[in-house]
Structure formats: C-alpha cells, structure tokens
A and B are shown apart, each in its own frame.
Chain A
Amino acid sequence: MNKPIFFDSTLRDGSHVVRHQISIETITEYCKMIDGSGVYAVIVGHGNGLGASTLQVGRSLHSDLEMISAARAALHETKLGAFMLPGFGTIKDDLAPALDAGVDLVCVGVHCTEADVTQQYIEYVTGRGKEAIGVLMMYHRAPKERLLEEAKKMQSYGARAVILMDSAGSSTVDMVRQTVEYLVRHLQIPVGFHAHNNLSMAVANSFVALESGATIIDGTTRGFGAGAGNCQLEAVVALLQKNGIDAGVELYKLLDAGEKVLKPIMTKPQGIDPVSIVSGLAGVFSGFAPHVKRAAEEFGVDPRDIFMELGRRNVVAGQEDIIVDVAVELAKRQTQNV
C-alpha cells in the first residue's frame, strides 16, 4: 500500500449539517489545529462549493471570500482547498476571486457521467498555476468503464488527481475494490476516494480503496457530514497505524480538532439515522437529508418514501427542488388511498 495523502473536507462537507452556518471563528480555530498535522489540504466553504450560497441549496453564514480568507490566514503548511460544481459558480464571479484570495487547490466536482463540463474549470485552475482535482460524484451510478472514460477526460484537462465520491454512501466493498483497481490500472494520475457512511462502511471502504491502489483519502474529522456523515479521518489514520502503515499524520492533532473545535458546533452526535440508511439503500445523495426531512414534515409523508422515490427518479445533487415535487405527489397519492 502506498503512503496516502489526506484531504480534510470537514469544513466543507460538514457545512451541510449545520445548514452552511459555520462561523469564521470555527474555520480559523479548526485550520489552526490542522495546520502542520500532515493533512495535505483542508477544503473550506459552502457544502456545495463556490458560488453555491443560494435559495436552492441554502445560504451560507459567510461569503466564500470571508471563509477562504479566514482559512488562508490560519494555514501555512497544510494547503487551502476549495470545492466547485460547474453550473453553480462561474470563473468571473466565483473561481477567479477564490484563487485571488489564496486558494491552493480546487476540487472540481461533477456528476460521474458529465466530466466534460469540468474542462473550463480544470484548465483555468491549472492555468493559474494551482492544483485542480477532478471529482466524480455519485460514482455508484456508472460502470467502471464509463468512470474511466470520464476520469481520462479530467486527466486530459490537466487534473492532478481524480477522486471518486460515494455521494450516497451506497458502496459495497466489491464495488470499491473493482472500481478503484480498474481506474488505478488505467490512469496516469493518482486516484482518491471520498466515502459517505450511510451503511456504516465509510472507513472500511476507504481502507479498501487504499488497498486497491488509491492514494488520496478525502474525509472529515468525527465523520462530520450530511446525513450519516463521512469517512472519519482519525479512524482511518488509526486503522492504518494498526496495519503498520505510517500515514504521516499526527493523530492527536486530528482528535483534538474534532474534540475542541467541532464537538461544540455539532448539534447531535454524528450517527446513522433510519433516513440515512434508506438514502444509502436508494442511492440518493446524502446531502438531501435535511431537505427531505423538512418536506416530509410539511407535506405529512414518510421521508423514507421520498428517498426511495428520488432513487427511482435518479436525481442528482443540486436537484433539491424535486424533493418538494416528490413530497407533493406522495401526499396526493396518500389522500387518494384514504
């Protein structure tokens, strides 16, 4: 197994949990504690990335630039990363200002079959002399051959690595092993894995990804993330130690950041509630959970039914507006059946 590097998405993916209300103080404190821990990059910002503070997916407490500037001031050894979804932000309004403010690395995420829309952004970031990472979201929706095709496009645009995102947390061990091995064998650039924990497999799947040749683990401390949360970085680092692999990360620093900075803002312990299990089973983006719960309450329907129906409709991240549509339809069906 190669020595992995770690992307810490706590402040970005965890942003979904608190409806994008992470404060500047938290960002500063967290970055100070992680800086120099051996973690490769801290990703900061709205859960849906640059330019995503919207009515559709929720407003952030602070602007992208405020969050980036706070993190920039606190990070010296660990790199500062941002996340971006094509279609959410633009180069002029969002990406260029983020790079101007000192972002070192940008993860450009896209639904796993749509990599060609990342071209403009990967090329722009690379052209500015910064690192661009391609992220294939909801990777479980496409066969490995298609994923390779899409990853190769990102490679050709200049991506420094490709990360597979198990956005619905619905991976099995076999899926991870077969997909990662296949991509590693056929790509020239490193492969990474970003796991969600809906079926309580995030740490295990990340470990399997490393065994299969991946060299980047993207996770969060305490597993902080929407729905069931993410791969808990401290646990992976400890697990690697147990396996005699030096992760090059100071475990205590991660534990402290999770305990001292994150715990106070966590409204409840990160766990797997029934809705998260169903979303993993349905293969629907975990970030939908808070919206689904709200819609379920408002329209008096079962959130599990909403998730299963969203799975049938193959919705992708960013289609939060369809949740209400589904809830309304289920509510209508209920009345008809009474």
Chain B
Amino acid sequence: MDLLFKVRRSELLACSIFTGRDPESKGIQKAKEIGIRTSVNSIQAILDEPDICEIVFDTTSAKAHAIHAPILKKLGKFVIDLTPSRFGKMCVPVIDLEDGLHSENINMVTCGGQAIAPLAKALMEIHPEIEYIELVAAISSKSAGSGTRANIDEYTQTTKDAIEYYSGVPRAKALIILNPAEPPIRMHNTMYAEITNPKLEEIIRKVAEVAAHIKKYVPGYTLALEPTYENGRLTIMVEVEGQGDYLPAYSGNLDIITSAAVRVAEEYARKKYE
C-alpha cells in the first residue's frame, strides 16, 4: 500500500491494478477507496489480462515469489521483487541501478541491505583490508509484516550476503531485532567494522556523500552517529524515517525498500520512453 502511494506520486508511473488475496484486507479496501482497480486473484489477475501492465512489483513472500517469477518471465514483465527471495539480480539503486535495468527480475534485497550495503562498500573502498563487517538492524514490531516474519531467515541471510556481495568484505554478519516498544521505534541500523588506523576524515566525508545520494530517493535516511572509532572498531549508525505516505513515519524499514523499488521502476520507465 505504501508502494502504491509512492507510485501514484510518481510522474513516470501509473498503477493499473493492485492485486491481493483477501477481499477484506485493508490494502485492497484502501486501494478501492482511492479509485485504483483491484483484484483478489493475486497473480492470476495478470495472467488473465497480460497487457494490463509493464512492470510488476511483487510484495508477497520469498516462497510465493519463487512461483511468481517464472510466470512473470514468460509474460515478459519487468519484475521488481520486494521479498528476500534472491531470485533476481540484487539491486541497491545508489550502487548499481544501471546494471539492474539490464535484467528482467530485480531483487530489492532487504531494508537492512538497502541501508547499509552502500556504506559498507564505501568503507571497503577506503580500507580494503577490513575483514569483518557487522550490521544490527532494529525495526519496530509494528512495521514487520507477516511476510517479513515468515521470511525472517531469508531476510537475515540475504542482508548478510548483500553486504558481502556489494562491499567485498570477506565476512559479514547481520543481526535483525524486532522491537515491540510503544511508541514504535524508527528503523535503526548500526554498522560495525573491525579496523586498525582508520582514515577517519576520509571515511566521514565519503559516508556523508553516500548518505546524501541515498537521501535523494529515501528522504528519511539520516546518519544518527557519524563514523566513530573506539576500541578497534568503527561504528556508524543510520536511522530511516518513513515519508508517512501510507504507513506511519516509524516504518522507515518499509519506506527505504519501497522508495528504492520506485526509483528502479522510474529509471526503467525513463529509459524505455526516452
């Protein structure tokens, strides 16, 4: 639903159908209310009417995407997968938007991956000798939907793998914490790296630069703690506040991944109709 609001706001995209499974779901109800065509036949709705769209955003679950992906491929759709399925090519727009567009199925990694992989990559460019990077992503329980919960294992593994893949660090580790506190916490990411003699000024400058790039498509992306060195480890903290499109502002974890997905879709549309 948050994605739908972002698509509607886009000058390059239009939503032709919003599908789900449960006619009573809040998402379907809300979409109807704002005049969007809906269906409760999930992917069948696209099979029934293949010309209805060019781009498909899949926000189901990793398991479901494994079934959807080959179907959509046959239909020749450009697929942006927001589950941690790992089916398509991983994409973090600030790093590899261009590469992503060459593929027909793009995986948006995870919110933690979107938030931290670019910083890990920046750090490794300055200090290629780093051997270990760790990410702690804390998100509010309220913003972790049933999909995230059912896929917690894929979510954790994919986040870790994305940090290794994008930064080249030999070993990464991702910790995911669901925090039930009320009022809900904003998405909070802490990145640690083990390092001796960090070039702190260069790191601070580079990290600020990358953060500013991300902020262009994720306005709520903020450095909560600029790179800080103590006890042989470098710590960086990032908070992500949602834009409050549909979900409340604490859901920064969803905002960052839907924003990244829309960024990819817009670029695809721009390239296609240029």
Contact = CB atoms under 8 A, between A and B. Distances in A.
A328 to B, nearest CB: 9
Interface string A315-332: 110110100000000000
Given A113-B141, A116-B146, A117-B149, A318 B157 contact: no
Interface residues of B, number: 28
A54 B151 CA distance: 22
B173 interface: yes
A313 B181 contact: yes
A111 B180 contact: yes
A92 B161 CA distance: 12
Interface in B159-192: 160, 173, 175-182, 188, 190, 192
Contacts of A113: 141, 180
Nearest to B180: A113
Given A90-B160, A314-B180, A319 B138 contact: yes
B241 interface: no
A120 B190 contact: no
Contact of A314 (B146, B149, B181): B181
A87 B175 contact: yes
B233 A55 contact: yes
A56 interface: yes
Interface residues on A, range: 20 to 34
B156 interface: yes
A273 interface: no
A54 B141 contact: no
Given A111-B180, A316-B177, A121 B153 contact: yes
Contacts of A117: 149, 152, 178
A315 B175 contact: no
A90 B156 contact: yes
A119 to B, nearest CB: 7
B180 A87 contact: no
B231 to A, nearest CB: 9
Q: Top 6 closest A-B pairs, CB basis?
A: A87-B176, A314-B181, A55-B192, A90-B157, A117-B152, A318-B177
B180 to A, nearest CB: 5
Contacts of B141: 113-114
